[in-house]
Amino acid sequence: MTGGPRIAVIGGGPGGLYAAALLKRLDPARQITLYEKNAADVTFGFGVVLSDETLGGIEHADPVVYAALRDEFVRWDDIDIVHRGQVHTSGGHGFSALSRKRLLAVLHERCRELGVTLRFGTRAPSAAELSAGHDLVIAADGVHSETRDAFAADFRPQLTEHHCRYVWLAADFALDAFRFEIAETEHGVAQLHAYPYAPDASTVIVELREEVWRATGLDRMDEDACADYCAKLFPETLAGRRLRGNNSQWTAFRTVVNDSWVRGNVVLVGDAAHTAHFSIGSGTKLAVEDALALAACVEEHEDLPTALAAYEAERRPVVVSTQRAARASLEWFEDLPTYVDQPAHQFAFNLLTRSRRVTHDNLRLRDPEFVRAVEQAADVPEGTPPMFTPFRLGGLTLTNRIVVSAMDMYSAQDGVPGDFHLVHLGSRALGGAGLVMTEMVCVSAEGRITPGCTGLWNARQAESWRRITDFVHAQSPGTAIGVQLGHSGRKGSTRLMWEGIDDPLPDGNWPLVAPSALPYRPGVSQLPREADRAQLRTIRERFRGAAHRAAEAGFDLLELHCAHGYLLSGFLSPLTNHRTDRYGGDLAGRLRFPLEVLDAVREVWPAERALTVRISATDWAEGGTSGQDALDIAAAFAAHGVDAVDVSTGQVVSDERPAYGRSYQTPYADRVRNAVGVPVIAVGALSSWDDVNSLILAGRADLCALARPHLYDPHWTLHAAAEQGYQGPGARWPLPYQAGSRKPPTGRTEAPKPRLTL
């Protein structure tokens, strides 16, 4: 091969063009050809948004491109939210946008100047052909990537189509803010996302759920009729002004995820590799950043396989984080009908914090007046973080919104809690949480998960629990203590967690019962027996007896454990309940036994004490509990008298595939709260007080349960108060600890610095 390395780029969007320009600039000897099937002046959409971080990267990587773009940007700081005739404005956000056509023109010019061969109106040869004749093939061919499809066995894509339809339009005037407007029509809710991209133009995206889109007839309108109809939907923003299209088509957003972005010398960038919903404005940003990272890695590493591996390793964590935020934002807008009745200020705050990237604390830094207005509307006293406001749960008033989540300790003897449990639960009660939960307390010996699990099936156990509740009530009067009652079902008779989680005992196993004779881990776990009617009656009475002992032991709250694949959870999921009698079949049948148990517990649990239930709102597995199932399950438990639903997810089947990430389970609690109207406890990778404040103020949760943070720091709640400068009634320091209520200095770094210059 003569000359420098041969590189083919498939796709003439910003990612492909920028990659070509950077690679050519770094090594002029490279022979780079870019193929774009459309003509050079054909583009879709109108404006693109880039962050200051991305612009800084462009400036550093290619000052010529940055200089050409710098004066083209429209910049603004505000976000306007228009809902039911009210406009709420939040400032301090900082956006930059420009015409997509102008961005492409700048990149075209730069590529030609550097000597990149641009072939517009030319379909690229097949990826296999290009791969054979080039050193590197960059597939920047978009969400419908033919390259990705051709090598699907290597890239292993997962494509998810979502429930809304959207269209890109434009208005011939410049907005002065990023604008959201909500329209409530006779057919359902529609939303507008709009922003300026030129001194005389704005991008306008209109989005509706699929069923609303069809009911309005938009699916049958041509482009002009569609633009006219949409313009009339949003009078506050458009004020009678027209919208126009650009070959604008209604589209269902598709999330693209690939297990790998590299196949030999072929690499995916931009939408071919990953997509992020337009509501967080990251599509072009991600593509440009991909191009920059790819060019840098190719330059930094001598061999291509190492360079491509480095590119993917560098970019994947960034993309995963962005996609997680985009998915949260996308789902928030899909569920918009459940939020439209929120109070106006709360609705605006909820919209702004929907992706979980913007939080209470950083929004307070951007626009303190806006956040204070939201807090005042929610009756949050001045100087009080939302997490330290009280909450009434049935007859129980909690001093703050923090719950120490139920965590199995596997440290009991014959089901009896000992000194370890006294210290463990007592120290966390002294740590300031509004509610401290026990681990799952088993209603019978055969209902234990492991030999180390606690119980409430006899008087000795109840007496030991009384010792713990007495300590909490005497030494931490601002904290309530709750008991979680459960039965292991098919997940019982296993080793202690640190000896092999979910592994059967090597000897001394006890027989298991479950809704159906299905082992938790096929080929590993013990095969349970399908519980017959007599066994179900016995189990129900065991729950009743344990609840009675829990009341005598002094617990303030009782939670029925119907989650995580244990016995009652096993009845609820279609993956674990294959019964053909009245306790199986449809959801009403699957709910029957858990509701019978709840009713039995209610009969003996004091009416003035709180009663909750924990559910798994999804099984993270195909064919499992659906989103509607979760809402119906929560509604059924609420109808039978629970004061709140503790919304967890998963652990029902061993082959689950959870979408782990920061606060990844909280959207499920959010949906239950706002669709069913029942108070909820949110759980799931919550770790910061900022997350808690955001969830509470946005109306996505009433209480927040944290597990691992309380293992790391038993006084997490009091420390959160100290870090926020709060010393009110929502965070009561025990008298012996009050001297520690201020964060101590950490050393000389906090001392005044000497003056060393004039």
How far, in Å, CA of 738 to CA of 722, rounded?
Answer: 11
Greatest distance between any 2 Cα atoms in the chain? 88
Per DSSP, 71 falls in state T
Question: b vs e for 318-335, b when ≥16 Cβ sit within 10 Å of the residue's Cβ?
Answer: ebeebbbbbbbbbbbbbb
Could you tell me if 613 and 557 are in contact, meaning their C-beta atoms sit under 8 angstroms apart?
no
Cα separation, 691 vs 686, whole angstroms: 7
Q: Considering only CA atoms, which of 674, 625, 623, 620 is closest in space to residue 645?
A: 674
Euclidean distance between CA atoms 336 and 347, whole angstroms? 10
- Rounded to an integer, what distance in angstroms lies between the CA atom of residue 241 and that of residue 192? 14
Structure-token pair, residue 210: 């699929």
Rounded CA-CA distance 224/231 in Å is: 11
Catalytic status, residue 566:
yes
Among 231, 225, 322, which Cα is nearest to 276's? 322
Q: In 3-state terms, what secondary structure has residue 335?
A: coil
Question: In whole angstroms, what is the distance from residue 72 CA to residue 92 CA?
Answer: 21
Please state, in angstroms and rounded to a whole number, the distance separating the CA atoms of residues 283 and 281. Answer: 6
Q: Which amino acid is at 567?
A: L
- Phi first, then psi: give them for residue 436, nearest 5 degrees: -115, 125
Helix (H, G, I), strand (E, B) or coil at 118: strand
Polymer length of the chain: 758
Cα 705 to Cα 403: distance, rounded to the nearest angstrom: 4
Active-site residue among 566, 664, 668, 726? 566
Q: Say if residues 126 and 150 touch (Cβ distance below 8 Å).
A: yes
DSSP 3-state of 317: helix
Active site residues: 566
